[in-house]
Amino acid sequence: MNLTTTAATAATLRPPNKLPKPNDACWCASGKKYKKCHQDADAEFVKEERKRLEANRVKPGRISPMRVVPDNIPKPDYWQTGQPSRGSGRVVRTAEEIPRMRKAGLAAARILRMAGEFVKPGITTDDIDAYVHELTIKAGGYPSPLNYRGYPKSVCTSVNEVICHGIPDDRKLLDGDIVNLDVTIFLEGVHGDCNATFCVGNVDEESKQLIRVTHECLMKGIEAVKPGRPISDIGRAIEQHSDHYGYGVVRAYCGHGISETFHNSLQIPHYFDARSTTKMEVGMTFTIEPMIAMGTWEETTWDDEWTAVTKDLKRTAQFEHTVLVTETGCDILTRE
């Protein structure tokens, strides 16, 4: 919102995502304290908005059985048990591993692009899962999410207020929805991981801005990757850009090291965390995947123990790349 808006016109506009404290100046630029100006009206707006969001919230649908991966496809260690091993424990890749990481990353990027082109009103998220599963098998890979710690599907489909780990089901995508598709492929012994948020039909301008800013946050985080610098630089860059728009950066989930294991010990917070002092090293591969919310960063999880949603039910978007730390910065491995 333009904070230079006059008090007269502000009465007809939505309040900003981040509301002032009672004794702060009101967001409408009237010069009055917030408690003497828009606080009561905003409280009523928030109450009515919550009712609307509750009525339109995403609800769980029916989940089809796990899809089958052909015998000839090489599989990760968890494909039967659901329990991944810890892997080698290394966070820096060898010269032999990096070309394989590039190949897996490129395959994931292609599958994500094609899945995004498949998105339209009327299809179900289970339809998307079937398509991603088929594309992954055709690429000669295994869909990494499938049975990872028991996850029942081949892709994560997170709609509207769902932050991440949405399980594909028989819910049809509606005109005006936004949906994040999180694609990971296990190929030649390593994982390539990426995601993006897509518009379903005609989407409102607020959601379009959220999607645009979230992608910008991802790129700001990538620009902060430099060997010798602490990982906290990444979250600092993301949070600064998100704060400019009054959005929340989800804190419950972070980026992660990736290679022969889907997730290794490296953690990449998307907000500034002074405790993230690990220095980035040439040869590290990890994901950056900010989840940016229109409102609060706080989340709650459905009874399925996977689907995370914003506590206030406002929309959220996410973008992700797998990156390789280089001498001068980083290479994006999940870009065509």
Query: What are the pLDDT digits (tens) for 101-155?
Result: 999 999 999 999 999 999 999 999 999 999 999 999 999 999 999 999 999 999 9
Given a cut of 60, whether residue 4 has pLDDT beyond it is no
178 with 201: CB under 8 angstroms?
no
Q: What is the mean pLDDT of residues 10-32?
A: 79
Question: Where are the domains positioned within the chain?
Answer: 7-55, 97-332
Report residue 13's pLDDT band, with 50, 70 and 90 as the boundaries.
low
Q: What is the mean pLDDT of residues 156-164?
A: 98
> Would you state the pLDDT for residue 6?
38
Given a cut of 60, whether residue 5 has pLDDT beyond it is no
Query: What are the pLDDT digits (tens) for 40-56?
Result: 888 877 777 777 887 88
315 with 294: CB under 8 angstroms?
yes
Residue 193 one-letter amino acid: D
Residue 182 one-letter amino acid: D
CATH number for the domain running over 97-332: 3.90.230.10
Q: What is the dihedral of CA 181, 76, 285, 93, to 10 degrees?
A: -160
> Would you state the pLDDT for residue 288?
98
Given a cut of 80, whether residue 96 has pLDDT beyond it is yes
Cα-based angle 246, 253, 273 (whole degrees, multiple of 5): 65
Collect all residues with Cβ–Cβ distance below 8 Å to 188 and sequence separation of at least 6: 74, 100, 103, 104
Locate 61 and state its tokens.
């649908």
Mean pLDDT of the chain: 93
SS (H, E, C) 225-252: CCCCCECHHHHHHHHHHHHHCCCEECCC
Share of the chain above pLDDT 90, in %: 82
